[in-house]
Amino acid sequence: MTHLPNSLQARDIAHVLHPYTNLVKHEKAGPLVIERGKGIYVYDDSGKEYIEGMAGLWCAGLGFDEPALVDAAVEQMRKLPFYHTFGHKSAGPVIDLAEKLKSLSPVPVSKVFFVNSGSEANDTQMKFIWYYNNAIGRPKKKTILSRQRGYHGVTIASGSLTGLPANHRAFDLPIAGVKHVDCPHYYRNAEPGESEAEYTARLARNLDEFIQREGPDTVAAFFAEPVLGAGGVIVPPAGYYPAMQAVLRKYDILSVADEVICGFGRTGNVWGSQTLDYQPDLISCAKQLSSAYLPIAACLISEPVYEAIRDQSGTIGTFGHGFTYGGHPVSAAVALRTLQIYEERNIYAHVAAVAPHFQARLRRLADHPLVGEARGVGLIGAVELVANKTTRQNFDPAKAVGATCAAFAQEEGLIQRSLAGDALAFCPPMIITEGEIDEMFDRFERALARTEAWISAEGLRPAA
């Protein structure tokens, strides 16, 4: 595609390096330039409307034009546009937000540590866990477990936690000390005839055996998203987290809930941990914390971990960790106002009310000849496209079937993400109505029909 000289697209190609993008293709195709937003919709620089079916990046819970958040940012900018929390300093919005997060936490929390992104939150949790074990005299207890297809960020440490090949290849990841255990995807990984309960019991046994092989005195923590997001929107079977946590507690291994996507209403409860019966020791949160209007994330820390960190910092003379913008007062003010709006407007109840309709439209897609599984909970879901519904055979990844379907959806006015295994994700702003849910899935169904026609034209189905 040729772009006019000095157009936004041409200037982008010349100057911007894009994340999660095929950069060779980008030099030819260029970007979709989004100019403005309203509710669940965004509009490109030509005025075309799109339903933002991913709430941006799983994050704009209140949509794209909430004036109360703009007002909160402006008010705080005029009062105190920046300060920090280093060396005994603080600011009112930071204190207020920490108190609010503690009151919302699904498990007891001692302190809140502010960072700027989910990646930084999980990276920081790893450092806290290592620091904690050093402080209590367990210097060998350092191995961190996460799961295949889990997603925990892209820093060197959090990118190692992430269990997706594209995040490791050519980056020299994962680093030593990070190990990956089973992905809890019943559709893909259950054995023939195995019930969900039997599958869950097998994963718990596998975890126990893995820890024994590693050495229980060397394994420090287990990171898990309540619902695996970027790995394909995978909802673990009922009973999965209690079974896994029984193993972890047996060996005194900390459990970290990565609530970056699930937190603040996405699954129908404030926390995904509540929906999935998960009781972690530590929590990472971000994204919908500020409805993504400004960068902010947080680590929620238990009392035992805090006490050890506190005492060790006294011995060393300082706690040598922190970020310039961690606890930025403007971001904190916007996040606090976001949490207030969720409560004032009953957003959590709204999600619970419209989620059955969302899930019904999603599950209906399972009847389509291209869809192997339609899965989800609350206002998050995905469909997995397959070449053969009976055998569950995937398409050749080189054919980019999922990406092609997402491109057709964009042409139909729906922005989605194509994830690993040709899964197409849905994660709209939480303010979406039932009518808008119908319009979103209607647009997707048109894209799916176009994908089916394209597959037939290209001869991509395997021979019977």
Q: Measuring CA to CA, which residue among 453, 352, 412 is closest to residue 53?
A: 412
Q: What is the pLDDT of residue 464?
A: 58
Q: Which CATH number fits domain 32-65+346-458: 3.50.50.60, 1.10.10.10, 3.40.50.300, 3.90.1150.10?
A: 3.90.1150.10
To the nearest 10°, report the CA torsion of 351, 353, 356, 358: -50
Spans of all domains in the chain: 32-65+346-458, 69-344
Q: What is the pLDDT of residue 437?
A: 98
| Residue 417 CA neighbour count, 13 Å, CB half | 21
Beta partners for residue 417, in sequence order: 425
| Second-level CATH architecture of 69-344 | 3-Layer(aba) Sandwich (3.40)
Beta partners for residue 51, in sequence order: 41, 414
What is the length of the chain?
A: 464
SS3 263: coil
Which residues of 122-234 form beta strands (DSSP E)?
143-147, 178-181, 219-224
Q: Is-contact 326 85, C-beta < 8 A? A: yes
CA angle 228, 58, 225 (to 5 degrees): 25
Does an H or E element contain 258, and which?
strand 254-258
Q: What is the pLDDT of residue 463?
A: 64
Q: Is-contact 376 235, C-beta < 8 A? A: yes
Q: Which residues of 298-310 are buried (b: 16+ CB within 10 A; e: fewer)?
A: bbbbbeebbbbbe
Pairwise CA distance, residues 405 & 382, whole Å: 13
Beta partners for residue 185, in sequence order: none
Q: Which residues of 41-66 are buried (b: 16+ CB within 10 A; e: fewer)?
A: bbebeeeeebbbbbbbbbbbbbbbeb
Q: Given its phi and psi angles, is residue 450 left (phi above 0), alpha (psi -120 to 50 degrees) or beta? A: alpha
Q: What is the pLDDT of residue 3?
A: 75
Q: Is-contact 80 72, C-beta < 8 A? A: no
Which residues of 201-272 form beta strands (DSSP E)?
219-224, 254-258
SS3 339: helix
Q: What is the pLDDT of residue 1?
A: 64
Tens of pLDDT along the chain (464 residues)? Answer: 667 777 999 999 999 999 999 999 999 999 999 999 999 999 999 999 999 999 999 999 999 999 999 999 999 999 999 999 999 999 999 999 999 999 999 999 999 999 999 999 999 999 999 999 999 999 999 999 999 999 999 999 999 999 999 999 999 999 999 999 999 999 999 999 999 999 999 999 999 999 999 999 999 999 999 999 999 999 999 999 999 999 999 999 999 999 999 999 999 999 999 999 999 999 999 999 999 999 999 999 999 999 999 999 999 999 999 999 999 999 999 999 999 999 999 999 999 999 999 999 999 999 999 999 999 999 999 999 999 999 999 999 999 999 999 999 999 999 999 998 899 999 999 999 999 999 999 999 999 999 999 999 998 887 65
